[in-house]
Amino acid sequence: GRWFGKHTCSEMVYCFLVHTVTPGPCRLLFSAFFGCQEHDDSSDDSLRAKRKNHLAEVSQQVQSEFSFRSSTTGTKYHTDGLSEEQLAAKEIGMFHLPQGCPFNDSKVVLWLTQAKCGYVFIMDPDENRMLAESILNLLVRLVDAYVKKQDEAPAQMLIKADRMAAIIHQFLPNGQLQFMNHRVVEQYQKELEILLAGK
């Protein structure tokens, strides 16, 4: 995963990640950690491996919750050939991770799925969840506009990681959840388009 921001502890989102949610192995497509990380004396390689395992646990739990919801509504998702209605449909949910499972501190996981992908915020329990949901919805819309069209394979995110990083830099700077009205979003989007012009 990518590293964003300075070593401060004021960031509101611990990690943002994107992964597949369709049946089969859960594939991590993009991840970004922010700000002050939990203290760990492990080497860089072992820390990366530990984070990868932690994100795998979270993404698999999101995939499991999504699959359960799909089964209860009778909706069947396949690895290809989604209908237009399925591509546009969104599911959103949230669950708690108790201390030590898998992070040192307890966390809240806010997730949103659309078009074969799950978009996830891992946050502290006391963060503004309504604001987080609003920002997460905005990020999904921006990814659809600038990174991966709804009917494209999720792997597009792997080859366009620089575009993903630019969106995060502009709309989730250093992990901060910002209140943004329509005019601010429009201004940030213009700045984003300038950033993406050479990517």
Q: What pLDDT, on a 0 to 100 scale, did the predictor assign at position 7?
A: 38
Question: pTM score > 0.85 for this model?
Answer: no
Per-residue confidence (pLDDT) for residue 43, from 0 to 100: 61
Q: What is the DSSP secondary structure assignment for residue 2, as one 8-state letter?
A: E
Task: Give the pLDDT of residue 28.
Answer: 92
Question: CB within 8 A of 35, min separation 6: which ones?
Answer: 5, 6, 7, 8, 9, 10, 11, 14, 174, 175
Give pLDDT, residue 2: 47
Pairing of the two strands 2-4 and 28-34: parallel
* CB distance 167 to 139 below 8 Å: yes
Work out the number of other CB atoms within 10 angstroms of the CB of residue 163: 20
Q: What stretches of the chain show up as alpha helix (H) in DSSP?
A: 44-73, 84-88, 129-146, 156-159, 161-171, 182-196
pLDDT tens per residue across span 118-162: 999 999 999 999 999 999 999 999 998 888 765 666 777 777 889
Give yes or no for a contact between 97 and 108, defined as CB atoms under 8 angstroms apart.
yes
Residue written as token pair 């069209």: 149
DSSP result, 151-167: TS-TTHHHHTHHHHHHH
Euclidean distance between CA atoms 43 and 190, whole angstroms: 40
SS3 content of the chain, % helix, strand, coil (to 5): 45, 20, 35
Structure tokens at 22: 């369709």
Are 11 and 176 spatial neighbours (Cβ–Cβ below 8 Å)?
A: yes
Tens digit of each residue's pLDDT, the chain (199 residues): 544 443 344 448 999 999 999 888 899 999 999 865 554 555 677 777 888 889 999 999 999 999 888 777 655 555 455 555 555 578 899 999 998 888 888 999 999 998 889 999 999 999 999 999 999 999 999 998 888 765 666 777 777 889 999 999 999 998 999 999 999 999 999 999 998 886 6
Per-residue model confidence (pLDDT) at position 134: 95
The pLDDT, as a whole number, for residue 5 is 44
12: CB partners within 8 A, 6+ apart: 123, 124, 127, 128, 132, 175, 176, 177
Do the strands 117-123 and 28-34 form a parallel or antiparallel pair, or are they unpaired? unpaired
